[in-house]
Amino acid sequence: MATSAIPAAINALITILDAVEDTDVFDGPPMTGENPDYICIGHDPLDPLNAVEASQVPASLGNRAREESFDILCSLAAWSGGGLISDRRARALDMFAAIEAAVRANVTLNGTVRTAQIGTYTLVQEQTEHGPSAGLRFRIACSARLT
């Protein structure tokens, strides 16, 4: 019996997004990269130690199969584009649209879950000494049956 679908789902999501979006995709917090735009899978900048929130319940009578529901915490940042915050916001939302399209096209995350979809998300933006930035904190909501 599998203990959790989480590790395989995170790995699949990284693989899927690496192939779709022309930017750095990190497993966890952002690392140094050449690209000013990036996506982090399993990372919430407001709570950097948390990667996933999950729960399990019995799938039927007995304790053999389990239903697992989990949210993969993710973030993205857009530092490229014009010098206006509206340019960065547009870039961040373009990146998010590409992520959403990729998940919709592969709702099982390469067969690792029963369903995956965009969950809640928050647009963040700020003016810094390096210029404007925009980003999103978002969740990929997944469900899996563990047997």
Residue 129 lies in a domain: yes
**pLDDT single digits (tens) 58-110:** 888 766 889 999 999 999 999 876 689 999 999 999 999 999 999 999 999 99
Q: What is the mean pLDDT of the chain?
A: 92
Nearest of 28, 105, 38, 117 to residue 70 by alpha carbon: 117
CA dist., res. 98 & res. 124, Å (int): 18
In the chain, where does DSSP find H-type helix?
6-20, 85-105
pLDDT (0 to 100) of residue 42: 97
Report the amino acid identity of residue 25: V
The reply to whether 21 falls in a domain is yes
Q: Residue 119 maps to which CATH number?
A: 3.30.70.1700
Residue 1 within a domain: no
Q: Does any domain span residue 76?
A: yes
Tell whether 141 is covered by a domain.
yes
Range of the domain at 49: 6-146
The pTM score is 0.93
Which helix or strand (DSSP H or E) is residue 73 part of? Answer: strand 66-78
Q: Which amino acid is at 115?
A: T
Whether 40 is in a domain gets the answer: yes
**How many separate domains does the chain show?**
1
Q: How far apart are CA 95 and CA 103, in angstroms?
A: 13
State pLDDT tens for residues 106-147: 999 999 999 999 999 999 999 888 789 999 999 999 999 998
